[in-house]
Amino acid sequence: MNINTTKVISLLFFIFSAFYLYTAYQIQVFAFDENAPFNARTFPIYLGYAGLFFSGLKLILPDPNTIKVQHKTLEYKKTALLIVIAIIYGATILKVGYFLTTSLFLFSSYYFLGERRWFLMFLLSFPFVAAFMYLLHGVLDIYLRDPFLQSIGVMG
């Protein structure tokens, strides 16, 4: 049986809208605001109904332009790897510091995407990040937190 993924996404959106609407009704407003023409829950309630309406229509109406994605041709492995590296980068950037984590993130991303020109990989990670850091921190005066560089005395 062929499952129309667009319809599945619409169904998920329908469920999401129903949940959103339920949560909107649960928003606690001040007692004096309860019967006001407009309070903190009014707009979200309309949005919830709008979500149900459009996703409901998409579910009911026929879908002549069904989009078929050839999953076999998609590069899931490299995409998932990049996402994992990005998550690790996000998890370590505050504790380790911008310079080291960003450089390692770039270097490992180049590697996992199939690059093997080591010198170029190095050049476009460590020196590149150092130059970018100088631009942001030194020239544009944008604060960059970096415990690692602070610990070795490079950054004040």
Partner 1 sequence: MIEGILIGLTTALTLQNILMVMIGCFFGTIIGMLPGLGPMTAIALMIPITYGFDPATGLILMAGVYYGAVFGGSTSSILLNAPGVPGTVATSFDGYPMAQQGKAGKALAIAAWSSFAGGTLSAIYLLFMAPSLSKVSLSFRSPDYFALMILGLTAIAAFSSKGQFLKAMMMVVLGLMLASVGQDSLSDITRFTFNNMNLTDGISFVLIVMATFAMSEALTIILKRNDPTSAAKQVSLTELGSIKINKEERSKMYKTIPRSSIIGFLIGVLPGAGATIASFLAYGMERNVVNDEEKEKFGKGSVNGLSAPETANNAACSGSFVPMLTLGIPGSGTTAVMLGALLGFGVQPGPRLYMTNPEIFWSIIMSMYIGMVILLILNLPLIPYIARILAVPKNYLIPLILFFSITGIYVMSFNNFDIYLMIGIAVVATFMRLYDFPMPPLILAFVLGGLMEENLRRSLLLSNGSWEFLWGRPLTLIILILTLSIVCWQLFKSLKK
Give, as ranges, the residues between 60 and 99 that touch partner 1 (CB under 8 A): 61-62, 64-65, 67, 69, 73-76, 78-79, 82-83, 86-87, 89-91, 93-94, 98
Out of 10, 99, 104, 149, which residue is the one contacting partner 1 (CB under 8 A)? 10
What is the C-alpha separation between 121 and 109, in angstroms, rounded? 10
Tokens of 126: 């460590």
Give the shortest CB-1-to-partner 1 separation in angstroms. 19
Tokens of 127: 């020196």
Count of other CB atoms within 10 angstroms of residue 87 = 10
Q: Which is nearer to partner 1, 24 or 149 (CB)?
A: 24
- Indicate if the alpha-carbon torsion angle 97, 100, 103, 105 is positive or negative: negative
Q: Which is nearer to partner 1, 74 or 152 (CB)?
A: 74
Q: Which is nearer to partner 1, 135 or 154 (CB)?
A: 135
Which positions ≥6 away from 146 have C-beta within 8 Å?
97, 98, 99, 133, 155
- Per CB under 8 A, 145 contacts partner 1: yes
- Per CB under 8 A, 15 contacts partner 1: no
Q: By CB under 8 A, what part of segment 103-142 binds partner 1?
A: 105-106, 109-110, 113-115, 120, 124, 132, 136, 139-142
Inter-CA distances, 19 with 7, 12, 34, Å: 18, 10, 21
- Per CB under 8 A, 55 contacts partner 1: yes
